[in-house]
Structure 1
Amino acid sequence: MSDMIAPESPQAFPTGRRAAGGLGDRIFHVVTATCAVIVLALIAGIAVSLVIGAWPALSKFGFGFLLSSEWNPVTDTFGALVAIFGTLVSSALAMVIAVPVSFGIALFITELSPAWLRRPISTAIELLAAIPSIIYGMWGLFVFAPFLSDYVQPWLNGAFGDLPVFGYLFSGPPIGIGVFTAALVLAIMVIPFITAVMRDTFEVVPAVLKESSYALGATTWEVVRSVILPFTKTGVIGGIMLGLGRALGETMAVTFVIGNSHSIPNGLFYPGNSIAATLANEFTEASGGLYTSALIALGLVLFVITLIVLVLARLLLMQLSSQEGR
């Protein structure tokens, strides 16, 4: 037995196998690096093509393109302020609604739900994520918007209409379509994505950490706040960014319910517009070169907004990582 070669000994592996393994590692490294370079090249290509297509509009309107609310194809006068405003407001309101709901659902599935109920809820969440966006838009227009117009918007207007800030937000005709409806539909659409990511990240928390906290007398909320969230903050923020990216770039569902009005809404109940909805509605009708260039410039603005959001998320993660152990 003493003459046998230990499994971990280098002599246990023939020289040819070690060489083949080293060659395989090099090939794997080259392949993965090539894939990463291809992704960067695609992103750079998209950015360059957008800049080239948007250059006629950018060179004519300059920085004022971002600050102008006028959109008139007849006179070739274009501004992106209305579309930017609608995109940011509807996406922000959708995230305000979706993040707490998604967190509660994911926490219930992983920590509070009975074992027999976890699978049906998880399956329902996955089915919601699989529904096409145009179905959400049709449902929002024909079912959700009339319900809001008849019951929710009149109540909100009557309850908050006299307050200084909320009266402005919840003002407008209760017609069912507008920025408020678009934000609610977006929230319903992104909840499954955020919930699925949070659920998966919560499930990877080692059971010994949670059991130790419970043994020390911690409540469920204390375990969530002091153990689960610090351990899974990267995945949680990643899920939120995934939902935000979906909300920023959503097209058909928003087009159905936002109202498609080229004016700054005076309240959440008024019709508005978004970058994606503007592109979906008008790109096929763009006849002139400047008109098409202005639409491509809107796409470039949406690309930059998404890039800024991702950079801010990365900076937030770096800041949280730097504070670990303090």
Structure 2
Amino acid sequence: MTTTTSPQPATEDDYGTHPGAAANRFFKGLSTGAGALILVTLAAVATFLLLEAWPAITMSAAELGESVSFIKPEDGQSLIEIIGYLVYGTLLISIIALLLATPVSIGIALFISHYAPRKLAQGLGYLIDLLAAVPSVVYGLWGVAVLVPVLTPFYQVLADYLGFIPLFAPPESGEIFTGRVAMSAGIVLAIMIIPIITAVSREVFLQTPTLHEEAALAMGATRWEMIKMAVFPFGRSGMVGATMLGLGRALGETMAVLMIIGPGLSYSAHILQPNQHNTIAAYIALQFPEANALGVNSLIAMGLALFLITLLVNMLARWIVSRRSEFSGAN
């Protein structure tokens, strides 16, 4: 009587003399090293920012104001207060961009993935990808030379009819509409992040199981109802992830905002008034050329604040995506 034994699962030691064992070990080490490199780089950046910012963070406002030209304690400014103003302006302008860009991007992605003919969809997808490659300084020049003059009369009308709302309040008496305001910067940033949100959302929508879509259509649903019942539930976390990627891009934008906005430091909600807001990245670029050693430390402290905000945004996006990892087009 013969007996058969089931094969035992292979272990790592079983491949010690295999012809491809060395290549397997090399590839495993290479992949592990590449993954660890990301963590090491992130830790190195965080450590650098913290060490370089620490002298400015621990110094009093009066002592810092004696050495740093853009900190004026006599005007009630300290490093922490300036960072607070800049964080507010950065978030305000980025949220404006996100509110404008998200619905447009989702609409473009849906048109490319479910409505446009194949040849047209390929051409539009290519154009969207090209928009992401345009340098930010080009967007800034276009915004100053073309967009701002076009928007200024619109701002005037908006303030005339909705000026009782603090958000759309007109400039103070004696000031004129320049168009170089937070709203203009937000619109340009929205145009800049549309390609990112559109590209990611398009790929997520294309991953929707065909059987889900066909089942909805077989039950008598219209194409829009099919999208609501099958495409949006499947791609919801992917859309959130795409939106957060766009937000991260808007938070760190420098040149376009610097060229468009009339800079100011305040907690004002008046997005049509000049000299009210600024972003961290634009402020650093504006002050860096004339900053001394301690001034550079102060600017690095602002960069540390931007680093933490961006890190929190990306962690939030990943957490939202992971909540629906079993039924998600983003995974």
Q: What is the TM-score of this pair, normalised by structure 1?
A: 0.84
Q: How does 1:183-198 map to 2 (within 5 A)?
A: 183-198=186-201
Q: 1:186 to 1:16 in 2, by over 3 A?
A: closer
Distance 1:323 1:132 in 2: 36
Structure 1 segments unaligned to the other structure (5+ residues) = 1-9, 66-70
Q: How does 1:11-160 map to 2 (within 5 A)?
A: 19-61=18-60, 72-73=70-71, 77-78=78-79, 79-150=82-153, 152-160=154-162
Q: 1:241 to 1:216 in 2, by over 3 A?
A: same
- Identity percentage of aligned residues: 39
Name the SS for the 1:20 alignment partner: coil
Aligned amino acid, residue 312 of structure 1:
L
Aligned amino acid, residue 49 of structure 2:
L
What is the root-mean-square deviation of aligned Cα atoms in Å? 2.5
Name the SS for the 1:72 alignment partner: coil
Question: Is residue 178–residue 257 contact of structure 1 (8 Å, CA) maintained in 2?
Answer: yes
Aligned amino acid, residue 280 of structure 1:
A
Name the SS for the 2:271 alignment partner: coil
Per-residue deviation, 1:314: 2.1
Structure 2 segments unaligned to the other structure (5+ residues) = 1-8, 172-176
Structure 2 residue 259 is matched with structure 1 residue 256 = yes
Name the SS for the 1:246 alignment partner: helix
Give per-residue Cα distances to partners, 1:126-146, cap 9 Å, x unaligned: 221111100000111111111
Name the SS for the 1:244 alignment partner: helix
Aligned amino acid, residue 163 of structure 2:
G
Distance 1:187 1:318 in 2: 26
Structure 2 residue 302 is matched with structure 1 residue 298 = yes
Distance 2:269 2:213 in 1: 48
Q: How does 1:197-212 map to 2 (within 5 A)?
A: 197-212=200-215
Give per-residue Cα distances to partners, 1:210-241, cap 9 Å, x unaligned: 11211111222332222212323343222212
Question: Is residue 172–residue 268 contact of structure 1 (8 Å, CA) maintained in 2?
Answer: no
Question: Is residue 102–residue 194 contact of structure 1 (8 Å, CA) maintained in 2?
Answer: yes
Q: 1:118 to 1:18 in 2, by over 3 A?
A: farther
Q: What is the TM-score of this pair, normalised by structure 2?
A: 0.83
Aligned amino acid, residue 168 of structure 1:
P
Question: Is residue 102–residue 191 contact of structure 1 (8 Å, CA) maintained in 2?
Answer: yes
Question: Is residue 245–residue 314 contact of structure 2 (8 Å, CA) maintained in 1?
Answer: no
2:324 corresponds to: 320
Give per-residue Cα distances to partners, 1:75-120, cap 9 Å, x unaligned: 6943212211110000011111111110000001111123342123
Indicate which of 265, 269, 272 corresponds to 1:269.
272
Distance 2:111 2:178 in 1: 36
Q: Which moved more, 1:72-81 or 1:307-316?
A: 72-81
